[in-house]
Chains A and B, each alone.
Chain A
Amino acid sequence: MTTDKKNQNSIRAMIKENKSRRSQSAVMEKVVPKFFMICAVISIFTTLGIVFTLLTETFTFFSRVSIVEFFTNTHWFPFTADDNADYGILALVMGTLTVTAIAMVVAIPVGLAAAIYLSEYASAKTRKFIKPILEVLAGIPTIVYGFFALTFVTPVLDSIIPGGISIFNALSPGIVVGIMIIPMIASLSEDAMNAVPNSMREGAMALGATRFEVAMKVVLPAALSGVIASFVLGISRAIGETMIVTIAGGSRPTADINITESIQTMTAYIVQVSQGDTGYGTTIYYSIYAVGMTLFVFTLIMNLLAQFISRKFREEY
């Protein structure tokens, strides 16, 4: 009997006893995954809901405005009597692309150089110091960047550029969107370069390559898929950027490229209409869905492109 009692206190006995209580945990095992699944499905349904709303309202818009005009007209002037209104998305698309192009001219060289420095040159100590700062830069609210563009960058540009610059222009928000994207490109590219095995750096160094040659001719080509994917995600982010361009870009849609003059991006137009007193059911009201749809397609293509690139151009190692 005493030995039996002892056995009951053994781990084996305890496990046996606990197993008998398992009916309770079995319920948990069944319920918890269902709950998790619902949480996952919510985001899918939200996405579907948004796409559905976009689509239906966009269809209504195109029942009033010809789709051909929408994609070929270079004038965007909705705030007038419906008969005189121009709905040529190209004017907004050009605004968005101008800002995006300026942003990438700023962000790609600086972000890539920063990534190469962090991955190939910086000591562990320096990296520990710089990476959090980059992340702080990524955490600044875009409205702050917007004011930075309007109240600091624009005046500076105005004093530098001969002939001055409009108070609202494409250049200033373009530069600031670029600054905003630098941490993203730097961080993602650095991750990609860090993933290149050290044995490859050693192989090149043993041939007498300098650090710069190792970085440019071994590490960068090997990490190229990740680096390009970071560029594409950066572009996607620049296209979707709203606050900076709304504050500093102006509200004059134009298909002409003049970076010192006021422009309007797709996002800024949506903000403008949403804030105004446009009535429900008007053509202007529906136009923001058509613009939103265009924007959605743009960023979707960019994100798919980023995925495709990182899969297709991966150098095997």
Chain B
Amino acid sequence: MDITINKKSVQKGKEEQEVTPVFNINNLNLWYGQDHALKDIKFDIPEKQVTAIIGPSGCGKSTFIKTLNRMVEMVPIVRMSGEIIYRDKNIFDPKYGVEELRTQVGMVFQKPNPFPKSIYDNVAYGPRIHGIKNKKVLDEVVEKSLRGAAIWDEVKDRLNENAFGLSGGQQQRLCIARCLAIEPDVILMDEPTSALDPISTLKVEELVQELKKEYSIVIVTHNMQQAARISDRTAFFLNGEVVEYTDTSTLFSNPSDKRTEDYITGRFG
């Protein structure tokens, strides 16, 4: 604990230089057809911290997070320019396999989307497609991932039941476990609690705090209190641009841009 605090204070003094960035985003532009959805995005995402992306609906925050694992390319009319450097490699490089990227950069979606399979098979899906067949190894991975997602105690006696029998909050934690099972480096979360009740939300938020010890997390959220509660750094998006990106405490207590201030004080959005 002490170490983390020290690290943070160092960080504040010298800005980002102390922390290794996992992503460097340079001049990222994105269009849906004619619609210019992301404009000259440029910032770094630090390692083993929680980076929150806030902003009103339609500001491009979900689009942005989906470019980080190139899921945005599922939209056929999308065009992009600029670069995203993930661990010293440009993810848009044709030689960089999209499956390899997504194995490193996992994602949790807005609506829980478990597969129509058993709880066990949901978690084991990722390791299995990546060639892990040993039953003993899979058993261990499933338990470890479900524990990691703080859902093990709730499901340990019903691992062979269909995942659709779980509540929404449990399904979302199962999806997080599914993501953890392939031991990613970064976890992207696209409004992971917007479909959940307050208690499930709290559980997921606590989980995020646990997970950041081992993973770098980028979380898109509509909920500014949530960003303030769980993130280390916050980026405020507006109309496809990054208006402000700084320490969460600074952004919420002392925003430097008028538009940020208007947004966080509830004047719009």
Interface residues of A (CB under 8 A from B): 123-124, 197, 199-200, 202-210, 213, 217-218, 221-222, 315-317
* Complex CA–CA separation, A173 to B101 (angstroms): 50
- Tally of contacts, chain A with chain B, CB under 8 A: 73
Q: Could you tell me the distance in whole angstroms from the C-beta of A148 to the nearest C-beta in chain B?
A: 38
* Complex CA–CA separation, A315 to B101 (angstroms): 30
Name the residue on A nearest B114 (C-beta). A203
Known: A203-B109, A203-B178. A316 touches B116 (CB 8 A): yes
* Mask: chain B, 143-154; 1 = CB below 8 Å from A; 0 = not: 000000000000
Q: Could you tell me the distance in whole angstroms from the C-beta of A120 to the nearest C-beta in chain B?
A: 12
Q: Could you tell me the distance in whole angstroms from the C-beta of B113 to the nearest C-beta in chain A?
A: 4
* Complex CA–CA separation, A54 to B117 (angstroms): 46
Interface residues on B, range: 20 to 34
What are 17 A-B pairs with beta-carbon distances under 8 A? A197-B113, A199-B113, A202-B109, A203-B113, A203-B178, A204-B125, A204-B129, A207-B125, A207-B182, A208-B100, A209-B126, A209-B129, A210-B99, A217-B129, A222-B116, A315-B162, A316-B116
* Complex CA–CA separation, A209 to B107 (angstroms): 13
Known: A316-B164, A317-B164. A206 touches B115 (CB 8 A): no
* Complex CA–CA separation, A221 to B107 (angstroms): 22
* Complex CA–CA separation, A315 to B164 (angstroms): 10
Q: Does B106 contact A (CB under 8 A)?
A: yes
B69 lies within 8 A of A206 (CB): yes
* Complex CA–CA separation, A210 to B103 (angstroms): 11
Name the residue on B nearest A212 (C-beta). B129
B130 lies within 8 A of A208 (CB): yes
Q: Could you tell me the distance in whole angstroms from the C-beta of A247 to the nearest C-beta in chain B?
A: 45
**7 other contacts beyond A204-B129, A218-B115, with CB at 8 A cut-off?**
A199-B109, A203-B178, A206-B107, A207-B126, A207-B179, A209-B129, A316-B162
A207 lies within 8 A of B162 (CB): no
A213 to chain B: which residues have CB within 8 Å?
129
